[in-house]
Amino acid sequence: MRKLSPFYRSLAIAKKDMLIFYLKGPVVIMGLLFPFFLFGAFLIGRHLPHSYLFVVLMSMTTFFTSTAVGPTIIPWEARSKTFERLISSPVSLTTVLLGDMQASFYFGLIITLLVSSVGFFLKIHVNFAIFSIAVILALLAFSSMTILMSSYPPTDIPADVMMLSSLIKFTLLFISGIFVPISKLPPYARWVSMLSPLTYLVDALRHATYISAFFSVYTDFVLLLFFAILFFVLGVYIHQQVLEKRFM
């Protein structure tokens, strides 16, 4: 009998995550309601072209939906004593994390696709190819980021990770050229914003909607991919290093 490959096994893990986590309160709040309200707050009292708003809406949706679940999965598993069973099955820790990452990715993808239909109604002129590639690469980067976020500290208290990851997320939100375009930032702030993967999504979406952008679209793509790989590899590495601490 031929056994299924690690990728198929990681799909089962992703499916489990989706069945369990997507209806939990904090996920709904952080992933769905929150970007909605934030966007609302941003809208009030401004008169910006629709395509500007579309970029802001799409970057926030992509960012918040794909980072809503991920950081708390492993701490939650450790807490509810399901983690040991998972890692004592014939899958590597990398496969487990790949599954968790996919859960974030698919959740982000579905919601982002739904929300992007707004662009359709507003009749925004979008370069579909750039838009799709940017969103997919960004979803990869953000969902990998959640793997990194859940890796340290090796706690079994989901609320702790939630707090830490929110702190990071908000920092990124404000340095990524969503509210103030990078071109209008002072040079030192520009350097800081280059450290955020969200910056490149925003920039690429500006390309996709024919707004002036700061980097070339290829730079955006390459850096998003770079962050995706970096976060995942680093996240897996740290998870491996602290694995034993999760049983203390």
Partner 1 sequence: MPEEVIRVYDLKKYYGDFPAVKGISFSVKKGEVFGFLGPNGAGKTTTIRMLTGILEPSEGRIEVFGMDVTKNKLKIRERVGIVPEMANPYIDLSAMQNLFLMGRLYGMKKREIKERSLSLLETFKLYNKKDQKVRTFSKGMKQRLSLAMALLPDPELLFLDEPTSGLDVMSARLIKDIIISEQQRGKTIFLNTHNMQDANELCNRVAIINHGKIVAIDTPEKIKELGAKYNVVEVSFSPFKVNEDFFSGKVKISGNKLNIHTEDVHRTIEEIVEFARREKIKIVTLNVKKPSLEDIFMEIVKENA
Ligand X SMILES: Nc1ncnc2c1ncn2[C@@H]1O[C@H](COP(=O)(O)OP(=O)(O)OP(=O)(O)O)[C@@H](O)[C@H]1O
Q: How far is the CB of 248 from ligand X (least distance, A)?
A: 4
**Number of CB atoms found within 10 A of residue 96's CB:** 23
Interface with ligand X, residue 248, by CB under 6 A? yes
- Residue 41 or 248 with smaller CB distance to partner 1: 248
Q: Which is nearer to partner 1, 7 or 37 (CB)?
A: 7
Q: Which does 92 bind (CB under 5 to 8 A by kind): ligand X, partner 1, none?
A: partner 1
Sole window of 67-75, 82-90, 100-108, 171-179 interacting with partner 1 (rule: CB under 8 A): 82-90
Residue 188 CB-half CA count within 13 A: 0
The Cα 88–Cα 123 span in angstroms is 52
The rounded distance, in Å, linking the Cα atoms of 35 and 63 is: 9
Q: Around Cβ 115, how many Cβ atoms within 10 Å?
A: 20
Structure tokens, 49: 């072209």
13 binds partner 1 (CB under 8 A): yes
- Measured from the CB of residue 73, what is the shortest distance to ligand X in angstroms? 21
Residue choice 18, 34, 50, 86 for contact with partner 1 (CB under 8 A): 86
Q: Which is nearer to ligand X, 129 or 248 (CB)?
A: 248
Q: Judged by CB under 6 A, does residue 129 bind ligand X?
A: no
Residue 87 near which of ligand X, partner 1, none (CB within 5-8 Å, type-dependent)? partner 1
- Per-position DSSP letters for 29-98, written without gaps between them: IIIIIHHHHHHHHHHTT----HHHHHHHHHHHHHHHHHHHSHHHHHHHHHHTT-HHHHHTSSS-HHHHHH
Q: Does 81 bind ligand X (CB under 6 A)?
A: no
Q: Half-sphere exposure of 123 toward its Cβ, with a 13 Å CA cutoff? A: 0
b/e per residue, 42-64, with b = 16+ CB within 10 A? beeeeeeebbbbbbbbbbbbbbb
Residue span 192-221 as binding mask against partner 1, x where in contact by CB under 8 A, dash where not: ------------------------------
Cβ nearer to partner 1, comparing 129 with 248: 248
Length of the chain equals: 248
Contacts to partner 1 from residues 90-109, by CB under 8 A: 90-92
Whose Cβ is closer to partner 1: residue 170's or residue 237's?
237
Q: How far apart are CA 15 and CA 12, in angstroms?
A: 5
Q: Does 132 contact partner 1 by CB under 8 A?
A: no
Q: Which residues bind ligand X (CB under 6 A)?
A: 247-248
Q: Which residues bind partner 1 (CB under 8 A)?
A: 1, 3-5, 8-9, 11-13, 15-16, 19-20, 80-82, 84-92, 244, 247-248
